[in-house]
Amino acid sequence: VGTAQMGVPRVPRGSAPVTSLLSLAVTSEQIEHLHRRFKQLSQDQLTIRKENFDSIPDLEFNPIRGKIVHAFFDKRNLRQESDGLADEINFEDFLTIMSYFRPIEMNMDEEQLDRFRKEKLKFLFHMYDSDHDGKITLQEYRNVVEELLSGNPHLEKESARSIADGAMMEAASICVGQMGPDQVYEGITFEDFLKMWQGIDIETKMHVRFLNVDTIAHCY
């Protein structure tokens, strides 16, 4: 992609983010734009730390700000073998995270679309699964839904709570309803999560306004 000529650090050939991004025809201009954003966030340092996200004005008012920032340092999202959180991320890591928010390509076949969708949902699943145990309790699911709705100024608190309760009950009907009488419910698995999001257009709804060098707005 000619990143070296633009002053953008060359990412090692064959690394996960390059495979993810270039296989979907991300342009040199987009990578350069992301690199400018990375430098702005890191204050021209080689890595970004959690405190660097404090400089994003719009993110300050996002109801799930903590979960968004957490997701950037979640080693599961960085496609590392280990669990836990990274102390800092470099530009390669930054590209990896941003690849989860890439748009659909018109030439994707069904298999690619399915993999693309699962990658996005896995990222979202990790945001709900804050204790990294591979499962989300119904209460945790309800809490995240309520947090998301709390950012809507046109929605009363009681209405948000009712919608969150409804979402939890719907999740329960999908997850618990498939269990046998002798089984013990331990939480929403990723397989359950896929079923819960079936029919929802996560491919276009999950995005982040991150290419604007002046401001970073919201993660949906």
H-assigned helices in the chain: 16-22, 28-42, 65-73, 91-99, 110-128, 138-149, 157-175, 190-196, 202-205
Range(s) of the domain holding residue 91: 19-100
Q: Mean pLDDT in the chain?
A: 77
Both 95 and 127 in one domain: the answer is no
Out of 12-16, 34-38, 87-91, 189-193, give the one with best mean pLDDT.
87-91
Which of 100, 132, 163 terminates a domain? The answer is: 100
Residues 17/38, Cβ–Cβ less than 8 Å: no
Both 120 and 206 in one domain: the answer is yes
Q: What's the average model confidence in pLDDT over 120-131?
A: 89
In a domain, 125, yes or no: yes
Both 96 and 132 in one domain: the answer is no
Both 82 and 139 in one domain: the answer is no
**Residue in the structure block whose two tokens are 């204050």:** 43
Specify the range with the lowest mean pLDDT, choosing from 1-10, 26-35, 95-104, 135-144: 1-10
pTM listed for this prediction = 0.73
Both 78 and 139 in one domain: the answer is no
**Cα 62 to chain centroid, rounded:** 14
Both 63 and 129 in one domain: the answer is no
CA distance 32 to 109: 28
- Taking alpha carbons only, the member of 110, 67, 71, 69 closest to residue 203 is 110
Label residue 146 by pLDDT band (50, 70, 90): confident
- Residue 137 DSSP SS3: coil
Q: Using the predicted structure, report yes or no on whether residue 19 has a pLDDT greater than 50.
A: no
We report the CATH number of the domain holding residue 166 as 1.10.238.10
**Residue in the structure block whose two tokens are 């709705």:** 149
Both 145 and 68 in one domain: the answer is no
In a domain, 90, yes or no: yes
Label residue 206 by pLDDT band (50, 70, 90): low
Label residue 6 by pLDDT band (50, 70, 90): very low
Specify the range with the lowest mean pLDDT, choosing from 16-25, 151-160, 186-195, 201-210: 16-25
- Both tokens of 13, joined, read 């050939």
Q: What's the number of domains the chain is made of?
A: 2
Q: Which residue has the higher pLDDT, 16 or 131?
A: 131
Out of 37-51, 159-173, 203-217, give the one with best mean pLDDT.
37-51
In a domain, 218, yes or no: no
Both 86 and 159 in one domain: the answer is no
CA distance 190 to 127: 12
Q: What is the pLDDT of residue 26?
A: 57
CA distance 16 to 175: 32
Which of 74, 100, 126 terminates a domain? The answer is: 100
In DSSP terms, 49 is beta-bridged to: 88
Q: Distance of CA 75 to CAs 10, 32, 51, 186, Å?
A: 22, 24, 18, 24
Question: pLDDT > 70: what percent of the chain?
Answer: 77
Q: What's the average model confidence in pLDDT over 116-145?
A: 88
Both 95 and 150 in one domain: the answer is no
Both 147 and 175 in one domain: the answer is yes
Both 121 and 192 in one domain: the answer is yes
In DSSP terms, 36 is beta-bridged to: none
